[in-house]
Structure 1
């Protein structure tokens, strides 16, 4: 639900912060006080079209921020957020939108910069705004099929998944066929290219790990002079006249004499003797290493050339030798497919034919399940319309294809199945059913939309539903029925409603009064949460107009009591 809304420098609002609760919140106030401006701000917050005209006169930018609390970690918003790399912690979603006086927008979701398209996609899963004259989601016939699927829930989902598993294979096979059926000249060019690439990779005789060993050898060759100098200096320091071995030999001779003169020095003599022979071995080893060292300047050139060749292949076919070899295997398969193109096309065609047969079975079953749920939806909508005093209205979920037309040739296979569905309605006896999207009479449209929303609010998972004066053009018992329907919707979703009907205001769980004041020559909008007596006065004003009498107050109290009894029933 929308828990907190902050608006700054938007239209006639300088700065406003409003808290919302679960259930039904009604916004009332004098015409022009700014009720619809608040709804406009929410509309922009969830990705609506922005304009510099929304920025308060004299300010550089308008800011709107909303905090939404999700009551379910499986909420559609969570899945969409993951797609765009947006983290949601503690089930909180914060939307923010800034509009500059030049008309530019900056959008953020949980602090991350996003495009308006992403804001709109996330926002559409959080808020549904319905105004009397707006072409909303339920009025878009292209979405009627998905609404029916939501209503059918698990049973339709299961049938749809069985179909979609086959459709994915079907789509993949068609892509392979298209690739093989592409222009023959292009295929010939492609074959020439990949044959050249295959030869280049094959002729290079690549070995896994070759580049690493070459680099290591190159380093050794480049360090040859320093290595030779170090070993030569080491040898010269040990071997030669008046060098380490000479001095150790002299030390050994004197130590042996000392050992002969006094036995306690024999161990010392042995230690010096061992050191002499150890250093003699070291000198021999170093001499052997020096004799074995060979500097091959040509070898360094060969290594450089090979590494350049490998780097050239990496730039073309992969960042590592392993990736180059994998690419070689991949194009080898493609060469085989193109070379034996006709055989592969025939195999793929047989697979497509087989998949089409299987898909038709699953698609037909999916249609059967959908038609079953379409009848249930029709019955529920008729029940809702009767409660809204539209018992003469006829509603129908119409499928483009009849049962007799369900043939493999008639189906147009798509990811959502082969069905095309549209809602039809007739509001007067004797009149033909017409597409719902063509129905446009104010009062009737409001009630039809309420009937649909009462049902779909249970299935669509929308966090907040906003009604912007949907009760225009109705009164009396119809107004009371509309108030009760709006309350029913609020049982499953948070509902905010701008209304001029006292019956709707009386049904509110929370009542916000919108007013405007003029200070220092500037108009500002204010919001006040009404308590009991204040509710009575406001509902009384809505009943009688400007003058509020004790009789209108009494009538307001009766409306509130009636609303309480209905909600507690």
Structure 2
């Protein structure tokens, strides 16, 4: 539901705020008062293309803001695409600012979005109907959705069955297509996978092998330094060339300490500790001597290690940054190779499975089409009766369903999400005229009534919450106009309806009436909108009846309003 519309600095409007109500809202006013400005503003805030020429003279920018209350689930998916969540209370605020510099700023709940995204949201909120608008009913691709919605549960069940089979069919088709590529390309891929797997297997890689080889390489490169260091340390600890060694000094200290060790427990403790150090030093000196004797530099071993590390490095560059990743790559290559080697057998099995699925899918598409044909007949009768009510007694409405009968093959049976049907609504407004697409109806009045008839029948299944009819009554009057009003009132029971009209027969049925006026103040022309109370509504209906408000027109207006209320409660 559209709760509020604020427009600032658009054409003749310097600033207005319109609070709209539930049900049937009607906007009336003299020609040129600014009704089209309001409709253009709504289109702009819904993401339509707009020129900066709409900015009021003297202003730097125009701002339009629309406040909606919506079912959050209806827009959750599209909001999530932008990383947004609907408000818990269903409030949705769309705003658009158009500046003289040409910059357009679109926001949804305060967050900047593109005009395309705002348009996508807008299509779920408002359906616009007028003489020149690109209504949803004029888009042929929507007709099949509307027919399916009208058909109800029986068709929905057939469509669910078809959709499940279509998913299986497409999955098998994708697998078969992947296997049935260019044979030469498949052979080249097999050769490459075989080479890659062989190269990795021949390397006989071991986990953490590169780390161990790196450690060994470091030791070999520093062999001379290690040998010299070990020799010097051993000499200082044990050999003592040119003097006493550290071990000699420790033994001398131990000998001297033995003379006092028995005098006091503390000295005995020190003696034992020193004795432990001597033993440890002897063990250390033995380890150093053993390492010195085994230390050697072998250029052949170093060369072998470097070649091995170079092989691992090359494999890492091609297959992964670590040995586990290289081994994982090898496993995947072997798996793909095995699948390709079995591809002929697999392709044959998939082809057989696809043929079975194709037959089942075709049968499901036929059942779905049959349900549509039944629903189409019912829809044609209902809409024809509505057209008769709208004084189009000779009009003929038809639902054209074309089933794709092409045989299966590369260019046949293009299964879509809606089956093999193409659906289009056709109309013949007058006797002797052929059925034509809705978009080719010449008369604006006929177009308006056809749209209204279709909307009346589809009102319960049409999920768009707000419907706007911009001068849909053009070209009609009298009894036809009254019927239009009744249909709009009926639709407003399940939708919010906003209608711009010049017909008293329509305005008198409204739940909420608004008067649009053009005024001159301080040398400037501006448009204002006033919500009418019952008294002002009567005066406006009287003006619509005769152009001037007279006692007779006021009395007739009161009678029309009473009759409308009586008809609504009947």
Whether TM-score is above 0.5 comes out as yes
| Match status 1:88 vs 2:86 | yes
Q: TM-score, normalised by structure 2?
A: 0.80
| Match status 1:552 vs 2:548 | no
Q: Distance in 2 between matches of 1:270 and 1:330?
A: 67
Q: Distance in 2 between matches of 1:83 and 1:201?
A: 42
1:151-550 to structure 2, matched below 5 A, reads 151-175=150-174, 187-189=183-185, 191-193=187-189, 195-205=191-201, 214=210, 218=214, 259-263=261-265, 266=268, 270=272, 299=305, 302-303=308-309, 306-314=312-320, 320-321=325-326, 324-325=329-330, 328-329=333-334, 331-332=336-337, 335-336=340-341, 340=344, 346-401=348-403, 413-428=415-430, 433-519=435-521, 521-545=523-547, 547-550=548-551
Is the contact between residue 2 and residue 68 of structure 1 (CA under 8 Å) also seen in structure 2? yes
1:511-538 residue CA offsets vs partner (Å, 9 max, x unmatched): 2332334455544333332333333333
Aligned-partner SS, 1:497:
strand
Aligned-partner SS, 2:421:
coil
Q: CA deviation at 1:483?
A: 1.3
Aligned-partner SS, 1:27:
strand
Larger Rg: 2
Q: Which residue of 1 aligns with 2:121?
A: 122
Q: Which residue of 2 aligns with 1:19?
A: 19
Q: CA deviation at 1:507?
A: 2.6
Is the contact between residue 6 and residue 64 of structure 2 (CA under 8 Å) also seen in structure 1? yes
Is the contact between residue 383 and residue 454 of structure 2 (CA under 8 Å) also seen in structure 1? yes
Is the contact between residue 195 and residue 335 of structure 1 (CA under 8 Å) also seen in structure 2? no
Aligned-partner SS, 1:472:
coil
1:269-311 residue CA offsets vs partner (Å, 9 max, x unmatched): 5566556656776777788789889998654675365235313
Q: CA deviation at 1:149?
A: 0.9
Q: Distance in 2 between matches of 1:311 and 1:449?
A: 66
Q: Distance in 2 between matches of 1:59 and 1:210?
A: 76
Structure 2: which 5+ residue stretches go unaligned?
Answer: none
Is the contact between residue 30 and residue 514 of structure 1 (CA under 8 Å) also seen in structure 2? yes
Judging changes above 3 Å, is the alpha-carbon distance between structure 1 residues 176 and 389 closer, same or farther for their aligned structure 2 residues? same
Number of positions where the alignment pairs a residue of Structure 1 with one of Structure 2:
554
Judging changes above 3 Å, is the alpha-carbon distance between structure 1 residues 254 and 177 closer, same or farther for their aligned structure 2 residues? same
Q: Distance in 2 between matches of 1:283 and 1:364?
A: 95
Q: Which residue of 2 aligns with 1:54?
A: 54
Is the contact between residue 211 and residue 307 of structure 1 (CA under 8 Å) also seen in structure 2? no
Cα RMSD (Å) of the superposition?
4.4
Judging changes above 3 Å, is the alpha-carbon distance between structure 1 residues 398 and 278 closer, same or farther for their aligned structure 2 residues? same
Q: Distance in 1 between matches of 2:34 and 2:456?
A: 27
Q: CA deviation at 1:255?
A: 7.0
Q: Which residue of 2 aligns with 1:79?
A: 77
Q: CA deviation at 1:391?
A: 4.5
Is the contact between residue 4 and residue 19 of structure 1 (CA under 8 Å) also seen in structure 2? yes
Q: CA deviation at 1:128?
A: 0.7
Is the contact between residue 211 and residue 310 of structure 1 (CA under 8 Å) also seen in structure 2? no
Q: CA deviation at 1:321?
A: 4.0
Q: Distance in 2 between matches of 1:208 and 1:455?
A: 75
Aligned-partner SS, 2:492:
helix
Aligned-partner SS, 1:204:
helix
Aligned-partner SS, 2:536:
helix
Q: Distance in 2 between matches of 1:534 and 1:243?
A: 121
Aligned-partner SS, 1:205:
helix
Q: Distance in 2 between matches of 1:228 and 1:521?
A: 101
Q: Distance in 2 between matches of 1:503 and 1:165?
A: 50
Q: Distance in 2 between matches of 1:19 and 1:411?
A: 52
Judging changes above 3 Å, is the alpha-carbon distance between structure 1 residues 287 and 78 closer, same or farther for their aligned structure 2 residues? farther
Is the contact between residue 196 and residue 333 of structure 2 (CA under 8 Å) also seen in structure 1? no
Q: TM-score, normalised by structure 1?
A: 0.80
Judging changes above 3 Å, is the alpha-carbon distance between structure 1 residues 411 and 308 closer, same or farther for their aligned structure 2 residues? closer
